[in-house]
Amino acid sequence: MANGGGASRAQSGHVHFAGSLLFTGFLFVWTFVYAIFFVVVSAFLPFPRRFVLAQFWARTLLNVLKWTCRLDFVVEGRENVPAGNHIALWKHSSSWETIAMTVIFPRQVWVLKRELLWVPFVGWGIRQLHAIAINRKSGGSAVNQVVQQGKQRLGEGDWVMIFPEGTRMPPGQTRKYGVSGALLAREAGRLVVPVAHNAGSYWPRRGLWKRSGTVRVVIGPPIDPAGADPRAVNERAQQWIEGEIRRLEGTPSGGAGAATPA
């Protein structure tokens, strides 16, 4: 019986690894092929219509991820998403959130590293989505770029999505949050919305393996930066996000539940 159980687990592990491998292959092929289509079509579409196409790309990936790896997600705290468009600060621990944020929040632009623009077709598509591409090594000038371009995007009716850590962090780890999001919120008269999740425990930042289960995303209460030091706003957001992640990591989530994309 013990040997049979071990063989069954090994077979299950092989099947799950095959699913992870299949999804990874689909991710790269789908993204590259769709990027070619997207770049061509975007020449004839305004930005709001382009973003609908980006959502289709993301929803397709999340559905395939659920099918191949049995990895789903749920969202808590939707009532905390304020009316209008603001700045969302996301924990960055995986590639998963770069896909899922597209369907969880309303029309949006992303702050990302400029190197992504250099990827053939994919980078060209990112340009068409009004991304704010920064040189992470440029310090203060990158912050100014986020504030100036962020104001413009907010004025056009878009949310601004920011990873304040600047790079993916393994579960249980963090680093000092960049201040650009909090500064943009104060300068533009918008709110800061913190977002925590435990995707890093299911889709690690390195490697092909993706665990089955349910990623939990929690949207926190908005923070009003009016009259506050951006560094204090940033610290408050970081304390909430990291505290919520510790809570999520201490509460295992078993089995796949129903996804709730926006």
Amino acid at residue number 123: G
Question: What is the pLDDT, as a whole number, of residue 237?
Answer: 97
Question: What is the pLDDT, as a whole number, of residue 3?
Answer: 58
Identify whether the C-beta of residue 89 lies closer than 8 Å to the C-beta of residue 162: yes
pLDDT tens for the chain, 262 residues: list them: 455 555 555 555 667 788 999 999 999 999 999 999 999 999 999 999 999 999 999 999 999 999 999 999 999 999 999 999 999 999 999 999 999 999 999 999 999 999 999 998 899 999 999 999 998 777 778 999 999 999 999 999 999 999 999 999 998 899 999 999 999 999 999 999 999 999 999 999 877 889 999 999 999 999 999 999 999 999 999 999 999 999 998 854 443 333 333 3
d(CA 13, CA 29): 24
Helix (H, G, I), strand (E, B) or coil at 109: strand
Strands (DSSP E) contained in the chain are: 71-76, 87-90, 108-113, 132-134, 159-162, 192-197, 213-219
- Specify the pTM: 0.88
Question: What is the pLDDT, as a whole number, of residue 13?
Answer: 65
Identify whether the C-beta of residue 151 lies closer than 8 Å to the C-beta of residue 184: yes
Question: What is the pLDDT, as a whole number, of residue 8?
Answer: 52
236-254 burial code (b ≥16 CB/10 A, e <16): bbbebbbebbeebeeeebe
* Burial of 108 (C-beta count, 10 Å sphere; 0-12/13-18/19+): buried
HSE toward the beta carbon, residue 170, CA cutoff 13 A: 2
Question: What is the pLDDT, as a whole number, of residue 4?
Answer: 53
Cβ count within 10 A of residue 30 = 15
Identify whether the C-beta of residue 54 lies closer than 8 Å to the C-beta of residue 60: no
Q: What are the chain's domains?
A: 2-249 (3.40.1130)
The string of DSSP codes covering 209-220 is ----EEEEEEEP
